[in-house]
Structure 1
Amino acid sequence: MTFPKNFLWGGAISANQCEGAYDVDGKGLSSADIATVCNPEHKREYTKGVIEGKYYPSHEAIDFYNRYKEDIA
């Protein structure tokens, strides 16, 4: 497969999928921050705030917030 010379690649990321750091630097909660894990064993749940013992995937994500310098280097 070949691409035209003027072909432009694009990419995007979503903050809640990459940042982590859901509660730093004055950031308020988003709907993603109160959404629990969703997989065949667990139904997604939107809680009223962060509940101890629940797993919220966006809270850690890939920790880009803290690792962006080394990720981009």
Structure 2
Amino acid sequence: MAEKKFPKDFVWGSATASYQIEGSPLADGTGPSIWHRFSHTPGTTHEGETGDVACDHYNRYKEDIKLMKSLGLKGYRFSISWSRIFPNGKGKINEKGVDFYNRVIDELLKENITPFVT
């Protein structure tokens, strides 16, 4: 049997979803997302669990990115919490939310990890 190899340009990475990793769902002017509202509605989640803390990526992104680097990851696909950017669903932009994602991207680039934003 022939050995199969990944293409040289294959990017090994990881992926997350904002509500499942970030925590701090209302920090720095963020508006409530549909997931925040859902998880805070009694009876909708197992034992009332919410994403209020999650993995605390909002506060620990530098540590998380160091872990990615130590694993040899070359890419990181992450989603943006639009309620962090547009707290009211539209209109005025929450600059602190934009700043958070810029800091994440800057840290990824510093560690030679390609950001893939969805």
Shorter-chain TM-score range: 0.5 to 0.7
**Does the Cα contact within 8 Å between 1:18 and 1:64 map onto a contact in 2?**
yes
Higher helix share: 2
- The Cα shift of 1:10 comes to 4.7
2:8 aligned residue: 5
**Higher fraction of strand:** 2
- How many residues align? The count is 60
Tell me the CA shift for residue 16 of structure 1. Answer: 0.3
Q: Which residue of 2 aligns with 1:29?
A: 32
Gaps of 5+ in 1: 38-42, 46-53
Bigger shift: residues 55-64 or 19-28: 55-64
Percent identical pairs in the alignment equals 40
Runs of 4+ in structure 1 off by over 4 angstroms are none
Gaps of 5+ in 2: 67-118
1:20-66 CA-partner distances (Å, limit 9, x unpaired)? 001110000000101228xxxxx636xxxxxxxx7342111111001
TM value normalised by structure 1: 0.62
CA RMSD across the alignment: 2.5
Q: RCO greater where, 1 or 2, for CA within 8 Å and sep 6 or more?
A: 1
